[in-house]
Amino acid sequence: MKNADPIVQPFRIDIPEADLDDLKDRLARTRWPEEAPGDSWNYGVPLSYMKELAEYWRTEYDWRIHESKLNEYPQFKTEIGGESVHFLHVQSPEPDALPLLLIHGWPGSIVEFLDMIGPLTRPRDYGREASDAFHLVIPSLPGYGFSGPTSQSGMDYKRIAGMFVTLMKRLGYNRYGTQGGDWGSFISLEIGHKDPESVVGVHVNMLVTPPPEDPKKLAKLKPKDRETLEKIKHYAKEQSGYSVQQGTRPQTLSYALTDSPSGQLSWIIEKFYEWTDIEGLPEEKISRDRLLTNITIYWLTATAGSSARLYYETMHMDGSPLPDETFADPGPPLGVAVFPKDVSYPIRALAEDRYNVQHWTEFEQGGHFAAMEQPELLTRDILEFFRKIRG
């Protein structure tokens, strides 16, 4: 399938050298705060680690290398509903490949999926069957990265889901699957709700299953499931401050993150430390350069504020912020990959009350950024799920 629509235009990343020089200059002039007691992660990102990482970003990290790697993939831009949408469109050489949306979340980007593109589009090169192949559409969320800042209010995840349905139709795909984690999970589920006749299946690596309001249903949960609910409470108490800020006053936050690269760096790297399945630093599972490429995209596109607004718009939308549960009966098949160090701990019994769960895998390792931490495990689970439903 080719990009036949004239309003879909080729795109190539080409950051002006002056922007890269400005980044280095700002990093060199960082005004550092005092060190927190003990210089541990208890108060946030330790000063010693921040200084070392910022210096690496300034003096050793080479954006041009990673810009060139991104430009190896076909990229496009189109306008949907008055907003710009940037996306990779990597087509498989296999004629019967299934179109698949891969959707990132915050604080991620298209960079999350780079290690999965080859195995999913060219499975025979990786020892798998041609029938496992996908045509991949990997969008930057509106307001994120090379999609650029959004200009309208009301850009919640349900509206973005509708935009991505339009994108797939515009590309000529009338039968496709969708996959995502974080916001990508919410958006994928909503796409299944909005376009059930076209969506053959939804696969997510983060699923939210709220505690039942009915005390009788709560009492019927297994002891393991009640322990899971306690983990959710810990996240709400210790790790959700970013969400409250971005969901209530994103504009106030945006001044600091858009003006200070060290501020943008610390805001995102903290999440990779807290949400990655590690014993030490995040680069033990995700390369330092890959982490910095993801962060640099936020910096160079000045999308800290518009990406944060997705939290505000969703928290202030009409109705429940959770994916719509009024799926067309029985709803698109749902596959769920559960990684132990994710920020959301789904309960299968509750998921099956709400969705058409056809596939469920609980892994022993991995965290929130599964596509970057455990690309092989996630790829394998996606393949296993869609093998069940391709026919």
Q: How many beta carbons lie within 10 A of that of residue 343, not counting itself?
A: 20
Residue 349 burial (C-beta neighbours within 10 Å; 0-12, 13-18, 19+): middle
Of 77, 56, 123, whose CA–CA distance to 262 is shortest?
56
Of 87, 146, 149, whose CA–CA distance to 117 is shortest?
87
Residue of 273, 298, 311, 355 with catalytic role? 311
Task: Find where tokens 């390792």 sit.
Answer: 365
Whether the bond into 330 is cis, omega within 30 of 0: yes
How big is the CA angle at 255 (ends 251 and 258), to the nearest 5 degrees? 115
How big is the CA angle at 324 (ends 318 and 330), to the nearest 5 degrees? 155
Active site residue 5: no
Active site residue 311: yes
Strands laid side by side in the 199-204 sheet = 9-11, 75-80, 83-90, 134-139, 98-103, 176-180, 199-204, 334-338, 357-362
The values of phi and psi at residue 260, to 5°, are: -120, 110
Active site residue 324: no
Secondary structure (H, E, C), 38-58? HHCHHHCCCHHHHHHHHHHHH
Residue of 66, 89, 135, 368 with catalytic role? 368
Residue of 182, 195, 289, 381 with catalytic role? 182
Give catalytic residue positions. Answer: 182, 311, 368
